[in-house]
Every structure is written in structure tokens, then in C-alpha cells.
Amino acid sequence: MVDVMPLTPKQLQLLKLWSEGLSLSEIALKLGVSRQAVHKGIQAAEAKVYRILVSAAKASKIEIRSVDAKRGFLVGWSPWLKSEVYITLSVKNGLQIWFKHEADCSSCPLREDCKRILLGEMEERGIRVEGAEDMEPSKLADELFSRLKEAV
């Protein structure tokens, strides 16, 4: 897991509140700072998130299709695997790279790790899916990434 420490604790807090849909004024009031300070902090944080996501894509030889720095989400394409790729950046899970594929998760040794990470991503992003705890990771991934793609 890549550490998200290039972001300061204050920047992480700003991005969390911003991604939850609070306005700049609401965040400023909540944190006891100026609206301008919130705006500058969010701009700096989103720029860092953008650089982290793009750097991960380039290092993995992924063609970039879209980036949503506010939500810490990149959609790309792997020309070698001929597959869509999703890169997420979150406080809970750091940087994660996901390759879209048809999977039989029941026999995969990474099943529980994937499920834990995907459920954490959904929780942190406020995405709720009925019965998520009982879903296989491949289905959770489909739900998570389709919702994130809708917002891009």
C-alpha cells in the first residue's frame, strides 16, 4: 500500500469534507477558517491526489481515460491486458490498482483482502449497497467502480 502522506492531515480532512458534499463555506465554518483558506487547501490537496494517481498509472503503463482527484479515482486502460483499470486513493487503503476481469473469487487466495479493501472503499466514499457484506469481491468491485465512473 502506498502511503498518502504527501497529503497533510489538514488536506486529508478538507478532501473528506469536500467529497462528502459540503460547500466551501460549510467547511470553513466547521473548521473555523476562512473560505479562501479552504479553497486553497482543497486546490493543493486535489493537485497532489491528481499527481499521485497519474504517477501510478504511468508507472503501471496504463493509458489514462479520466481522473477525478476530488474522489481519488482514475479510470484507465491496460493495452497489454486489454482491460479497464481503476486506481483509487483513499485514507483507509492508500493507493490501490484494480484490473477489470471476470473472476471466480471463491477460490482466490486474495478474496478476503480484496473484499475488506472494497468494503472499506465503499464505506469511506459513502457508497451503500444492500447485501454488500455477502457479495463476492468481483461484484463489489463492479458496484463500486460503476458508481465512481458515473460521477466522473
- Rounded Cα distance, 23 and 52, in Å: 25
Instruction: Report the pLDDT value the prediction gives residue 122, as an integer from 0 to 100.
Output: 94
Domain assignment of residue 118, yes or no: yes
Domain assignment of residue 57, yes or no: yes
Range of the domain at 25: 9-151
Instruction: Report the pLDDT value the prediction gives residue 148, as an integer from 0 to 100.
Output: 93
Rounded to the nearest angstrom, the gap between the alpha carbon of residue 36 and the centroid of all alpha carbons in its chain is 26
pLDDT, averaged across the chain? 91
- Rounded Cα distance, 39 and 20, in Å: 15
Domain assignment of residue 37, yes or no: yes
Q: pTM score > 0.85 for this model?
A: yes
Domain assignment of residue 3, yes or no: no
What is the pLDDT averaged over residues 76-102? 93
Domain count, the chain: 1
Rounded to the nearest angstrom, the gap between the alpha carbon of residue 75 and the centroid of all alpha carbons in its chain is 10
Instruction: Report the pLDDT value the prediction gives residue 82, as an integer from 0 to 100.
Output: 96
More confident residue, 66 or 94: 66
Domain assignment of residue 90, yes or no: yes
Domain assignment of residue 44, yes or no: yes
Q: 29-68 pLDDT, tens per residue?
A: 999 999 999 999 999 999 999 999 999 999 999 999 999 9
